[in-house]
Amino acid sequence: MERRKFTKTLITSMGALGLSQNLMGNALLNNNNKKLGIALVGLGNYSTNQLAPALLETKMCELKAIVTGSPCKIPQWKTKYGIMDHQIYNYENFDAIANNSEVDIIYIVLPNNMHKEFTLRAFSAGKHVICEKPLALNAQEASEMIAAGKKANRELYVGYRLHYEPHHQETIRLCREQAFGKIKHFEGGFGFRAGNPNQWRLKKLYGGGALMDVGIYVIQGARYTIGEEPIAVTAREYKTDKVKFSEVDELIVWQMEFPSGAVASCTTSFSASTNHLFVAAEKGFIRLSPSYTYNMIAGYTRGYSFDFPQVNQQALHMDGISNHLINGVPHLNTGGDEGLRDMKVIDAIFASAASDGKRILI
């Protein structure tokens, strides 16, 4: 308990400085005040309301360019973030960003079916890439993206912000140290009501669906708490609205089997709200609820509550990646290989659901 109290105190003291990654890594060191330039590709809700504001708080990176197909958005971004004309691109002239020395990292915030194309174009432009999750439409695409990064000698990262979130970091620590013995069972779910029937998330063309959009968080949660890679999955898909969800999955439930014998029972949905993570071990448990949102994450376990500060997950994530590029400090497991592992699981879940619950080996 003394060590746990120390860890909580440590995170609390670091939270205000944006350094929660110290729980599992090193502090941000930016002695030369160098900041890497980030270009946001796609100015939808996540870029507008999360990433761009977070870049006002980052210590090691800053917004240096935008890429958009909507000219009407440009004036607001120029006013709010001081974007200059030479820092503005569209999807057609994007490749010219190769000539912009201010930009070091391309952050791809586009529909899933565009991830591979713009990752490859970014590598061709000589830039590092952060790609929002899921990394690709399938494992084959993810493998091609990773190979392209290696060929270009550039880094590929995935937008796994929760690896830099204190509640999840503490959960990972407790699980790795087997604070409550061996993990036997994981249970988790993430879902919300997808209201607008015309949004890209409900279109097969764009790689939409609940599993790709939010179910991936549950896959991540199971993998980094159990600490193993799943060896098999069984899955079932259900629809309560066959018109609205005619093109994509609405509700999927699945189980993952792990080498140690641990089992994960998971749910994702576009028609109902769920947001939790539960780890059952031999001598205790850990619960996070809400678990996967941008703020107000809460958790508790036997003996104490997770009394950690709410942090800007996006700022910590982008700073952690910048710290890796500038100082060589390891990032917190947010590389392209991690994205590929999730895509292999997603491919297996879809295959099992399509075969009425057949057990699929991974």
Cβ–Cβ under 8 Å, residues 166 and 189: no
Q: Exposure pattern of 258-276 as b/e (b: 16+ CB <10 Å)?
A: beeebbbbbbbbbbeebbb
Concerning whether 184 is annotated as a catalytic residue, the answer is no
Residue pair 167/308 in contact by the 8 Å Cβ criterion? yes
Q: Helix (H, G, I), strand (E, B), or coil: what is residue 353?
A: helix
Q: Which residue type is seen at 250? A: E
Catalytic option among 116, 133, 157, 206:
133
CB 352 within 8 A of CB 358: yes
Chain center to CA of 250: 21
Closest-CA residue to 191 (of 176, 199, 183, 201) = 201
For residue 133, indicate whether it is catalytic: yes
Residues forming a β-bridge with 233: 256, 360
Q: What is the dihedral of CA 92, 97, 103, 106, to 10 degrees?
A: 40
Place of tokens 């958009």: 68
Report how far apart, in Å, the C-alpha atoms of 225 and of each of 83, 262, 330, 350 are.
41, 11, 20, 23
- Which of 164, 217, 224, 292 is labelled catalytic? 217
CA distance 252 to 216: 12
Rounded-to-integer distance, Cα 5 and Cα 248, Å = 45
Query: Residues with Cβ < 8 Å from 63, sequence gap 6 or more?
Result: 37, 38, 40, 52, 55, 81, 83
Active site residues: 133, 217
